[in-house]
Amino acid sequence: MTVPSVGGVIVSQGSNTPARSYHLVNWGVAGLGVALVEERQATGIWASTPEARDLQKDQLKVEDVDISRLQE
């Protein structure tokens, strides 16, 4: 997977599990954020900084993804 330019969003879905996708965002100085989404529910999140994690969660909300089950 290639990291997008700053502000770019990549959503990648596997052919075996179309309900599962990975959402990757390059937040520039704030870092990178990646979320695992299964059937519109965020089941995992990784970020290189706390700021990138907050931005990633905000992006998921914009995409109408439920983040209520993410561990803090």
- pLDDT of 11 reads 73
CB 36 within 8 A of CB 45: yes
pLDDT per residue as tens digits for the range 17-62: 668 888 899 999 999 999 999 999 999 999 999 999 999 999 999 9
State the maximum Cα–Cα separation within the chain, in Å, rounded to a whole number: 34
Residue that wins the pLDDT comparison between 55 and 5: 55
pTM: 0.81
DSSP run (H or E) holding 65: none
- pLDDT of 26 reads 92
